[in-house]
Amino acid sequence: MNVVVASGLTKRYKNTAALDNASFRIEAGRIVGLIGPNGAGKTTALKAILGLTDFQGELSVLGLDPRKQRNKLMEQVCFIADVAVLPRWIRVSEAVDFVANTHPRFDRKKCEAFLARTKLTPDQRVKQMSKGMIVQLHLSLVMAIDARLLVLDEPTLGLDILYRKQFYQSLLEDYFDENKTIIVTTHQVEEVEHILTDLMFIRDGKIVLDADMDAVGERFAEVMVGADKAAAARALKPLDERQVFGKSIFLFDGVNRAQLEALGEIRRPSVSDLFVATMKGTYA
Amino acid sequence: MKTPALNEMYWLVKREFWEHRGGFLWAPVITGGVFLLLNLMGIIAGEVIGAQHGVHFLFSDRIHILDHALSADEVARAGALMDMVMYSTSFIISIVLGFVVFFYCLGALYDDRRDRSLLFWKSLPLSDSATVLSKVVAGTLLAPVIAVVCGVVTGIAMLLLFVVALSFHGVGAWHLLAYAHPFRVIANLIGTIPLYALWALPATGWLLLCSAWARSKPFLWAAVLPAAVGAMLSWFNLIGPRVGTGWYWSDVCGRILLSVFPGSWLSAGNYQNVSNGAALNVLNLGSAYSVMGTPGFWIGTVAGLALLGGAIWLRRWRDDN
């Protein structure tokens, strides 16, 4: 079943195209990383999915049109947009009370159990919390909602490594299952790559890569090649080449495995290396 | 499983109260407290100066009316006087309320866009119309109720203060308190609140619209835009046919900015036919609501609803980027 189906998504801000005829689908039970450089259109794509902005093209989220059926959609969709968007005046107890009484799919017991694992106290106000604590509160609220789609836009920006690790660990252990779908954008690619099931690269409003992680492993390969075979490797048109300890590391897209094995040791490229190679020249 | 609309509205209004406890609750409480303190200081000053000069000018001439049994007419006058005290404290608090509601509306759909907490509220399954409506309810129903209660409590405290001060002079005035009508005063003031909410609609609508629309400085937009239009009208008056600008300043500008001040309908020349016999009668519900007989009232209400519709639309689609 498809959770998100987008075709021909286009959104212009004055003279720049934030989304340029982007089409993609996201299936249920996936964790999708939407990765792109600054200004590539990630946030605009998420805003379109959440019904926060108007756009051209067709988009269906959980079978609903986010432009027309937003209220209904938000019962099934949660999002954490950036860190620290909780209102500064609210207390922990007020936030829990409010969500418990306005969200039909919120489980108060669950939320309280999550909060019990943190140092947050019911009387504490958001303005007295560190960024990490605000995210803990927000995550406790969101994970207690039985939603089908969770959208995370840079959820760990500016957090220290302990909070970042804890954030993704909680999501995986206490939240994610085959009925839920998560879309996450982040610049800290290293931290999410082992939890992603799907990878989407976006550049200048276009989807330039859309594949599941297994397919990525089959399609892309990194080979460390000695100086003697470098010319042969270059003949196979690598995506990227970099030098380490007098050897060259080549990144290939869709080249026959047997051919590559003759050149040297094959490794699975990291998402960040793949990202850098794909986005070459973005800011030039 | 759908949250019933009334329950949803209850929690939305409660949220507004949590956020604006300072303006809705503490502002009237503190105003009442300061008012009482000033009166206490005045009485003490009167006593001290009186003692120094050997005269009791504060109560000297009124003491006589308490010496004999009161006639029915005097009872009525004593009651009216005490009711007046309760109305007047409510009046002072209602001025504060006007300012609170004005700035509350101006910030209600702007502050959460500025600090981006809008993104949290928008992640909940709440409709934008319910959200905007909850702000109208909080500002023009909840806040006035709190203000009325504070006003009347302050008024009663004032009366007690006077009675205690009198009793220091050997004048027992406690029985007079029975002639006051605190419940009638409260009923009159509470009964006026729906009228206030409707009368204030053009202002709440306009201020919320500016609040939902402005990228920065909503106050400037809300105040400068109507002023600029007025200036343009004056200019047209200078060079072209005289249409007059008085109607604009009072019926348009005044209504979209100042009708958040309770009782501003009293000044609108809507009460020529109220007899000037008893001043307090104008505060009775029947005469207060007679403003509903004027076309201006209903034109304002309809315009206010249209402005609110605009605010809801902007709340839904405004994309700050």
Q: Find out whether A111 and A129 touch, Cβ atoms under 8 Å.
A: no
Q: Find out whether A225 and A263 touch, Cβ atoms under 8 Å.
A: yes
Smallest CA-to-CA distance from B204 within B51, B102, B72 is with: B102
Mean pLDDT of B159-182: 83
Smallest CA-to-CA distance from A238 within A251, A221, A225, A224 is with: A251
B92-101 burial: b if 16+ Cβ within 10 Å, else e: bbbebbbebb
Q: What is the pLDDT of residue B268?
A: 53
Percent of chain B with pLDDT over 90: 53
Mean pLDDT of A248-254: 89
B320 lies within 8 A of chain A by CB: no
Smallest CA-to-CA distance from A149 within A8, A59, A26 is with: A26
Q: What is the pLDDT of residue B35?
A: 94
- A71 contacts on B by Cβ (under 8 Å): 125-127
- Interchain proximity A53–B124, CB inside 8 Å: no
Smallest CA-to-CA distance from A195 within A24, A31, A12 is with: A31
Mean pLDDT of A60-71: 94
B21 lies within 8 A of chain A by CB: no
Q: What is the pLDDT of residue B137?
A: 97
A104 lies within 8 A of chain B by CB: yes
A85 lies within 8 A of chain B by CB: yes
- Interchain proximity A98–B115, CB inside 8 Å: no
Out of A106-110, B45-49, B74-78, least confident range: B74-78
- A50 contacts on B by Cβ (under 8 Å): 122-123
- Residue among A72, A82, A102 whose CB faces B124 most closely: A102
ipTM of the complex: 0.91
Q: What is the pLDDT of residue B136?
A: 97
pLDDT tops 50 at residue A182 = yes
B11 lies within 8 A of chain A by CB: yes
- Interchain proximity A88–B117, CB inside 8 Å: yes
Distance to chain B for A191, nearest Cα, Å: 25
Strands A181-185 and A149-153: what pairing?
A: parallel
Structural domain including B17 reads 5-317
Helix ranges, chain B (H): 5-19, 21, 27-53, 72-108, 111-114, 118-121, 128-137, 143-168, 182-199, 201-213, 218-239, 246-247, 254-258, 285-288, 295-317
Nearest CA in chain A to B11: A98
Highest mean pLDDT range out of A99-108, A247-256, B169-178?
A99-108
Q: How far apart are CA A65 and CA B141, in angstroms?
A: 36
Out of A37-51, A173-187, B63-77, least confident range: B63-77
pLDDT tops 50 at residue B277 = no
Q: Find out whether A184 and A200 touch, Cβ atoms under 8 Å.
A: no
- Interchain proximity B319–A54, CB inside 8 Å: yes
Touching A: B residues 127-166, CB under 8 Å:
127
- The conformation of residue B105, written as its DSSP 8-state character, comes to H
- Per the DSSP assignment, residues forming a β-bridge with B147 are none
- The conformation of residue B291, written as its DSSP 8-state character, comes to G
Q: What is the pLDDT of residue A242?
A: 86
Domain count, chain B: 1
Out of A17-21, A182-186, B58-62, B143-147, least confident range: B58-62
pLDDT tops 70 at residue A75 = yes
Integer CA distances (angstroms), A139 to A47, A83, A122, B11, in order = 19, 10, 16, 22
- Interchain proximity B117–A86, CB inside 8 Å: yes
Out of A239-243, A244-248, B53-57, least confident range: B53-57
Touching B: A residues 243-282, CB under 8 Å:
none
Mean pLDDT of A119-141: 95
